[in-house]
A and B are shown apart, each in its own frame.
Chain A
Amino acid sequence: MDWTALILSMQLAGVTVAVLLPIGIALGRWLAVRDFRAKPLVEALVALPLVLPPTVFGYYLLVAFGAASPLGQIWEQVFGQTLVFSFEGLVLASILFNLPFAVQPIQRGFEAIAPEIREAAACSGMAPLTALRRVELPLAWPGILTAMVLSFAHTLGEFGIVLMVGGSIPGETRTVAISIYDKVQSFDDSGAAQMSALLLVISLVTIALTFAFSRRIGRRLG
């Protein structure tokens, strides 16, 4: 069992969710409430990672942030290490790649709130931020929870991008999915079997918890 890889994956997933949560709420609410001409384009951009092969995404990250690129060189001068093949690089890749998993459920959550409720909050003299905090977020909560769990579980399972930009460095970029791949290639079948089983259980439990949570909350609100 490669505990280092498991902990690393958990950290990657935790950081990803923590960063994505405010982004997802801001973007999701904006897309749910506003209507503008470029909206289909924005929505398409957010949804792109759903259909884009991770290798294509990884390739562009390598091009954009590789040691030869201007962005990569600036990053290296500021932080003293390259963005690709580092934990920070994985975090960036993971945030971008999880956008649809975070934004779409949150957007659905805000869309489900009747406009009258927002108007009533405004009429009662609530400032927009207070209304968001006291009225809208609690109502959109099932969507937000789904977004968090999906991004977390999806990060644990992400393989293609990590393979492209990670380099399988223990404790830095060797995530649990990569470690399983490495174990198969080093003929460590029992190690691969244990970690695969663990990942299967974690995935199942997280998804089952989300369903249970959103049902309970749905009942409470409904």
Chain B
Amino acid sequence: MTFARLIAFALAFWAATLPRIAAAESPVVAAAASVQFALVEIAQAFEAETGETVRLTFGASGNLARQIRQGAPYDLFLSADESFVLTLAEEGRLRDQGVLYAQGRIGALVPRGSDLKPDGTLEDLRAALQDGRLGRFAIANPEHAPYGQRAREALIHAGLWEAIEPHLVIGENIAQAAQFAVSGNADGGIVSYSLAVAPDVAARSEFALIPADWHEPLGQRMALTKRAGPVAEAFYAYLQSPAARAIFDDYGLALSHGEG
């Protein structure tokens, strides 16, 4: 029996004494999956400049908004769509209505070696549906991922929605949709420009922008929550600085896009 007790004690002792890591209360930034690559880079630059760290968590904007409503301890929310920020602000869960940080764009992405061609007018997709080339096609969940909503709007605009529905695989957020397509598990997909230009993605896929007027604009808005402290405030200000702006622009998250 002494053996059993020894183990039990060791476990309890170990569990109780290990200091919880990151108890350093660095603020938590909840951000849309579409900005993950840009934000990681900006957070590194912020750390290099100020010595302060932020903790990043990514997901579909709709899910993050729901979590904030349920009391998630986020200090700053970067949504892929303004509506989530504006609604939360109205409900009094954010400090204010925040600011726009990007104008999101979508496009057609195909993995290298796919039977599809990258075609922003979706004409090749139409042809693929008719000649039976199309297997699976990935978009983000239109229910809670803004990029999924815009993908659906673009497909409806092109008159392809009903034909393509049986072929769709739905990513929980835009990064998962992109992962489905880039890995070749889907023949292609509609993903955000911001993910398509990331080196890991660009090396393995081809991408063409879909005309911006095929869908509702995607004003990406961010705001501090009520619990934000000084470090979160500093990061929020940094996100609006020229240094961060340049990184956003590099990742296709410009505030205004020349038509292309």
Contacts and interface: CB of A to CB of B under 8 A. Distances in A.
Given A14-B14, A186-B175, A187-B201, A85 B73 contact: yes
B179 A185 contact: yes
Q: Which of A11, A141, A144 has the most CB of B within 10 A?
A: A11
Interface residues of B, number: 41
Interface in A7-26: 7-8, 11, 14-15, 17-18, 21
B29 to A, nearest CB: 10
A145 B78 CA distance: 46
B193 to A, nearest CB: 16
B8 A21 contact: yes
Contacts of A133: 1
A167 B4 contact: no
Given A4-B22, A7-B21, A187-B200, A82 B71 contact: yes
A17 B59 CA distance: 30
A221 to B, nearest CB: 12
Contacts of A82: 70-73
B61 interface: no
Contacts of A17: 11, 15
Given A67-B70, A133-B1, A187 B182 contact: yes
Contact of B22 (A68, A170, A186): A170
Contacts of B33: 185
Interface residues of A, number: 42
Contacts of A62: 70
B212 interface: no
Nearest to A152: B11
B71 A137 contact: no
A8 to B, nearest CB: 7
B71 A84 contact: yes
Q: Which of A8, A18, A81, A86 has the most CB of B within 10 A?
A: A18
A182 interface: yes
A111 interface: no
A145 B103 CA distance: 56
Contact of A15 (B8, B15, B74, B182): B15
A130 B198 CA distance: 65
Interface in A181-216: 182, 184-188
A11 B16 CA distance: 9
Given A68-B70, A185-B33, A167 B57 contact: yes
A43 interface: no
A76 B1 contact: no
Contacts of B22: 4, 170-172
Interface string A71-86: 0100010000110111
B1 A138 contact: yes
Interface in A56-104: 62, 66-68, 72, 76, 81-82, 84-87
B15 A4 contact: no
21 contacts: A4-B21, A18-B15, A21-B8, A82-B73, A87-B20, A137-B1, A138-B1, A167-B30, A167-B57, A168-B58, A169-B73, A170-B55, A170-B56, A171-B20, A171-B22, A174-B57, A185-B58, A186-B36, A186-B175, A187-B182, A188-B200
The 3 closest A-B pairs by CB, nearest first: A171-B22, A67-B71, A82-B71
Interface of B: 1, 3-4, 7-8, 11-12, 14-16, 18, 20-23, 28, 30, 33, 36-37, 55-59, 67, 69-74, 173, 175-176, 178-179, 182, 198, 200-201
Given A85-B73, A168-B59, 10 more contacts: A7-B21, A14-B14, A18-B12, A66-B71, A137-B1, A148-B7, A167-B67, A167-B72, A172-B22, A186-B175
